[in-house]
């Protein structure tokens, strides 16, 4: 869908619109960075004008004082309730990177029972590295660590480490084994992204895992009219994500299955259409 | 149920703002995150 590509590109541009940062190797320091962006976008990307929600959550759970992160959790909940994984499909800059690499003309790996099972990994990574590890490290050593950012996140390596290390000699001098490890993870993902559709999104993104929990309730996004659906499975068959049916927790609301459904049961939930979508969808 | 969740989201945000947590997010976001770039 061309409109989706345009919105994804526009979102990536707006989220990283502080262009001088890319020229001088500094990051944006304006007050609006107190707001979390909806998608995975490292706040140390030189162009980023907002905070990464996953980074902000870990940061709140790390440090020398352990407090419940009301503000960040409120943001997480609000984004989930409003958009669900529509954010992944339409707004997340790292989702766009994955789709661009997948667009390279090579043989592609199809989804399978194995990839469907691998989707659970993102819940484990989210609970383990984003929530438990910072808290347990705090309990063990009196100071927590943002384990997902520190040991795993390839978006941070791509969006922040690559530009900042290449432009800042002091940071480059401080690089060590952890840097090597993070670049290794990034390289693995970049290669897989060429052959597998959105591998980070499907198997590893804690943000996608969280937003997916709200897919069926979100104000906006893909939904299925249960009265029309015959459970024929055609939406799942055409979908590149590991959905069982359109609109389930793995669906990123890309809309590709909408014209495929023989019953016209797949529709975009829109705030102003209210509840009865069946009539709208007939057309 | 959905309305209740919206209410919880608003209350969490207000509680966070009341405690000045957005300033903690800002403080973290305007400093280069050494962990994110693999040297922290
Ligand atoms: S293609 Fe349409 S009818 Fe078939 S399972 Fe999906 S939503 Fe239901
Ligand atoms: S189920 Fe449909 S809308 Fe959802 S990700 Fe798959 S193709 Fe896109």
Q: For tokens 């209210």, what's the residue?
A: A274
Is A238 found in the same domain as A206?
no
Is A165 found in the same domain as A146?
yes
Is A234 found in the same domain as A184?
no
Of A212, A239, A258, which residue is a domain's last? Answer: A212
Q: Which of A202, A282, A216 is nearest to A247 (CA)?
A: A216
State how far the Cα of A279 lies from the Cα of A267, in Å rounded to an integer.
11
Is A275 found in the same domain as A140?
no
Helix axes A53-61, A133-141, angle to 10 degrees: 20
Is A203 found in the same domain as A270?
no
Report chain A residues whose CB lies below 8 A from the CB of B5.
77, 81, 217
Q: Which of A47, A63, A36, A44 is nearest to A207 (CA)?
A: A36
Which residues, judged by CB distance below 6 Å to any ligand atom, belong to the binding site of ligand 2?
A: A 222, 235, 239, 241, 243, 246, 251-257
A158: distance to nearest CA of chain B, Å?
9
Task: Give the residue from chain A lying closest to B25, CA to CA.
Answer: A34
Is A262 found in the same domain as A133?
no
Which of A28, A56, A77 is the closest to B5 by Cβ?
A77
The pLDDT assigned to A138 comes to 87
Structural domain count, chain A: 2
Report chain A residues whose CB lies below 8 A from the CB of B4.
none
Is A17 found in the same domain as A111?
yes
Is A226 found in the same domain as A180?
no
pLDDT single digits (tens) A115-168: 999 999 999 999 999 999 999 998 888 888 899 999 999 999 999 999 999 999
Is A59 found in the same domain as A36?
yes
Is A274 found in the same domain as A142?
no
The pLDDT assigned to A67 comes to 78
pLDDT single digits (tens) B12-30: 999 999 999 999 999 999 9
pTM to 2 decimal places: 0.93
CB of A264 shorter than 6 A to ligand 1:
no
pLDDT single digits (tens) A199-216: 999 999 999 999 999 999
- Residue B24 region by backbone torsions, left for phi larger than 0, else alpha for psi between -120 and 50, else beta: alpha
Q: What is the mean pLDDT of residues A101-122?
A: 97
Of the residues A216, A222, A227, A245, which should be mutated to test ligand 1's pocket, given the most ligand atoms within 8 Å of the CB? Answer: A245
**Domain span at residue A199?**
2-212
DSSP SS3 for A144: strand
Number of CB atoms found within 10 A of residue A279's CB: 8
Of A181, A212, A243, which residue is a domain's last? Answer: A212
Is A135 found in the same domain as A58?
yes
B20: distance to nearest CA of chain A, Å?
9
Is A170 found in the same domain as A54?
yes
Q: Are A200 and A93 contacting, i.e. CB atoms less than 8 angstroms apart? A: no
Which of B11, B13, B26 is the closest to A75 by Cβ?
B13
Lowest-pLDDT range of A41-45, A80-84, A140-144, A198-202 = A140-144
Of A212, A242, A264, which residue is a domain's last? Answer: A212
């Amino acid at each position: 869908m061309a409109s989706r590509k345009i919105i994804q590109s526009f979102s990536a541009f707006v989220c990283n619109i502080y262009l001088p940062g890319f020229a001088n190797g500094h990051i944006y320091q304006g007050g609006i960075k107190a707001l979390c962006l909806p998608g995975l976008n490292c706040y140390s990307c030189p162009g980023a004008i907002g905070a990464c929600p996953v980074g902000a959550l870990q940061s709140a759970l790390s440090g020398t004082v352990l407090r419940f992160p009301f503000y960040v959790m409120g943001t997480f909940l609000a984004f989930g309730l409003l958009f669900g994984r529509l954010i992944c499909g339409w707004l997340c800059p790292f989702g766009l990177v994955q789709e661009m690499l997948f667009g390279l003309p090579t043989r592609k790996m199809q989804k399978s029972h194995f990839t469907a099972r691998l989707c659970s990994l993102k819940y484990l990574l989210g609970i383990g590295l984003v929530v438990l590890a910072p808290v347990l490290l705090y309990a063990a050593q009196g100071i927590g660590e943002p384990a997902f950012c520190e040991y795993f996140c390839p978006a941070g390596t791509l969006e922040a480490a690559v530009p900042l290390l290449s432009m800042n000699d002091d940071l480059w001098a401080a690089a060590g084994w952890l840097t090597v490890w993070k670049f290794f993870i990034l390289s693995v993902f970049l290669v897989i992204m060429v052959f597998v559709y959105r591998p980070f999104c499907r198997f590893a993104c804690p943000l996608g895992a969280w937003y997916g929990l709200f897919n069926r309730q979100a104000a906006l996004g893909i939904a299925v009219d249960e009265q029309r659906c015959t459970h024929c499975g055609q939406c799942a068959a055409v979908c590149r994500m590991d959905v069982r049916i359109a609109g389930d927790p793995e669906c990123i609301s890309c809309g590709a299955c909408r014209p495929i459904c023989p019953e016209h049961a797949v529709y975009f939930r829109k705030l102003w259409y209210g509840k009865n979508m069946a009539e709208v969808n007939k057309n | 149920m959905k309305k209740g969740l919206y209410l919880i989201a608003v209350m969490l945000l207000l509680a966070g703002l009341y405690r000045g947590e957005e300033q903690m997010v800002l403080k973290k976001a305007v400093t280069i995150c050494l962990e994110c770039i693999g040297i922290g």
